[in-house]
Structure 1
Amino acid sequence: MASNLKYSAALKNAQQNAITSTLGANAVLEIYSGSQPANPDTAISSQVLLASLTCNATFAPAASGGVLTLNAIANGTGTAGAGAALWPRGIA
């Protein structure tokens, strides 16, 4: 079986629209330094929260052509001194 799977725009739209539905009206984007956990279900431990950004109440309009374009994200709170490794985590 081929390992280079191709997805239709309709399937990609559905997957991306599920992100918007899951995050709802209270999504926050957090930026951390340090080692990224193995997966999104792994708790944050020694990583340092650098910034917390509140997303628009409507996270994104419906995906189109397999692309999800986010609405505005507000200026957030954070700390200086980013460090070497940066990675985001979205929470609802």
Structure 2
Amino acid sequence: MTRGKPLTPQEKCRIVKAHEYFTSEEKAGRSWDVGTRERVAACLDIGLATVARVISFWNKNPGTNLLRRSAHVIASTRHPSSEE
């Protein structure tokens, strides 16, 4: 994802679906002491702040159709420190 570019509805949906999956894994005891948002960010190679914004929006607006373009969330890219 490009830094500062608005997320597409499909990208937002992927973030929510990945969060739901990793939350269920955590409840089943398969999280290996890594937070759900951190796992989503690593899985989708996006910034932790982006995951937090999308999930926060989703939690405040449950059932929102993310495939509509009404909800704007700005993406941040993940920059691993090992690639410098």
Same fold (TM over 0.5): no
Higher helix share: 2
| Greater RCO structure (CA 8 Å; 6+ sep) | 2
Higher strand share: 1
* Greater radius of gyration (CA): 1
